Structure 1
Amino acid sequence: MDRLAQIEVFVKTAELRSLSRAAEVLGMSNAAASRHLAALEERLAARLVERNTRRLWLTEAGQEFYQRSGALLNDLAEAENAVNAHTLAPQGVLRVTSSLSFATIYLAPMLPAFRKLYPKLSVHIAVANRYLDFIEAGIDVAIRTRLHEPDTNIVVRRLGRMRRVLAASPSYLEERGRPRTPADLSQHDMLVYNLAADPFSLRLTKGDAERVVRIGAALDCNDGQVIRQAAIAGLGILIQPLYIVQDDIDAGRLLPVLLDWQLPMLTMNIAYQNRERLPAKIRVFNDFLVDYVRRTSSREIWST
């Protein structure tokens, strides 16, 4: 315990550039902190810290030891936090953002079971198809489809990869006919999700064959549920992740087209801020969500 206390005093002193401030943060007297630092230097037979009346700095040996011991304390904190996530009851408010479709199909149905496990934790869901800023919006967890975050302080964890489909209502297909080839899509009324990377260009593959088709839009919208309802009403052919329309396909409200051609898979990720100690509420939510989605989704819809 003395050796750990010595390392904690040294690391905190290096971070704060002040022995007295380190003592205050660690809840010990200046004299006790000074004794710990002196004992550490004596044990290592090296001078780690130099100071005068105006400032404190690390020696070359101190810099080397700080890099290694700081990493050691971070690993120890992570180990303790991992245990706490299972043994302590997370509490407070967890702020999550996702699209309306994902919140409706996955988040809302999973919350009763989640809150039975963690009744002291309340969940706030901000439904948004645009990417909210973590700090401005106070977001803890974001469910997103982009692969990389521009902010290097954001951690991205893969939730799964989703199939996308082309589908339309029976009434639309009866009136306009089924597309037989990708090129036929340019002659159809298309319902386009306009937040996609390149919404008016479709890349389809069949074996080694690839076709890129430019499409127009009878409707373009930034929400998948609006597009889904328009397709059911007979407005045109949608392009959506399968998880959004699987129930409609099973019920016959929508019929898939060009099934022998594949659209690129869409990757869904969990994003959260990189912190020295990840709060238990974020850890347990992420783990629960990954398990829930993989347990409740067909492999035809999602893959890991």
Structure 2
Amino acid sequence: LIARKLGATGKIIVASPDYLSRHGKPRTIADLRRHCRIGFSYARAIEGWPLREGGETVTIPITPGLQVGDGEAMRHLALSGAGLARLAAFTLRTDIDAGRLVPVLEEANPGDLEEFYAVYMGQGGPLPARVRALLDFLVSHVRF
């Protein structure tokens, strides 16, 4: 397998308008403790969400029991009003622009970046032109 870096993106905490109308919008990091925070279940997942508070980075643990195996499942749970999600900004842009998801606590965002890659089978020789063209297109068109 060969991996090509496509870019890096920040992360955003989001919730659906329905979730926020039922549970209120968190205004402080301390408010997050009373909200459902969706996390990842796989081994490389971090212990919680890093956030900035008073010039320092603090880690808020995720809610036990509501964990998913991939970002798309987390996005769908957030869209359905199940809780707050912290995901790569480029995967949320369309939902935020359409009003389906609302960013929360942006002032506490630590500005960490998540790199993302295209992974493909290597042929042991030159990269086929169609694969190179697709990778070049992705690099130039992915909005961060």
Distance in structure 2 (CA, Å) of the matches to 1:196 and 1:261: 26
1:57 aligned residue: none
Please report how far the alpha carbon of residue 192 of structure 1 lies from its aligned counterpart in structure 2 after TM superposition.
1.5
Q: Is the 8 A contact 1:200 1:216 kept in 2?
A: no
The structure in which a higher percent of residues are helix is 1
Greater relative CO (CA pairs within 8 A, separation 6+): 2
Paired residue total: 143
Instruction: Identify the match of residue 114 of structure 2 among 254, 261, 266.
Output: 266
Q: Is the 8 A contact 1:165 1:239 kept in 2?
A: yes
2:8 aligned residue: 161
Residues 279-294 of structure 1 aligned to structure 2 (within 5 Å)? 279-281=126-128, 284-285=130-131, 287-294=132-139
Instruction: Identify the match of residue 296 of structure 1 among 138, 141, 144.
Output: 141
Please report how far the alpha carbon of residue 178 of structure 1 lies from its aligned counterpart in structure 2 after TM superposition.
1.4
Q: Is the 8 A contact 1:190 1:218 kept in 2?
A: no
1:179 aligned residue: 26
Distance in structure 2 (CA, Å) of the matches to 1:274 and 1:206: 45
Specify the SS of the correspondent of 1:190. coil
Please report how far the alpha carbon of residue 279 of structure 1 lies from its aligned counterpart in structure 2 after TM superposition.
3.5
Q: Is residue 52 of structure 2 the alignment partner of residue 205 of structure 1?
A: yes
Q: Is the 8 A contact 2:38 2:62 kept in 1?
A: no
Distance in structure 1 (CA, Å) of the matches to 2:119 and 2:75: 26
Q: Which structure's CA Rg is the greater one?
A: 1
Q: Please, what TM-score do these two structures have when normalized by structure 2?
A: 0.80
Unmatched runs of 5 consecutive residues or more in structure 1: 1-133, 135-140, 142-155
Q: Is the 8 A contact 1:189 1:217 kept in 2?
A: no
The structure in which a higher percent of residues are strand is 2
Q: Is the 8 A contact 2:39 2:62 kept in 1?
A: no
Q: What RMSD, in angstroms, separates the aligned Cα atoms of the two structures?
A: 2.7
Aligned-residue sequence identity (percent) comes to: 29
Shifted more, 205-214 versus 177-186: the winner is: 205-214
- In structure 2, the CA distance between the partners of 1:241 and 1:215, relative to structure 1 (3 Å rule), is same
2:90 aligned residue: 243
Q: Please, what TM-score do these two structures have when normalized by structure 1?
A: 0.41
Distance in structure 2 (CA, Å) of the matches to 1:210 and 1:265: 14
Please report how far the alpha carbon of residue 234 of structure 1 lies from its aligned counterpart in structure 2 after TM superposition.
0.9
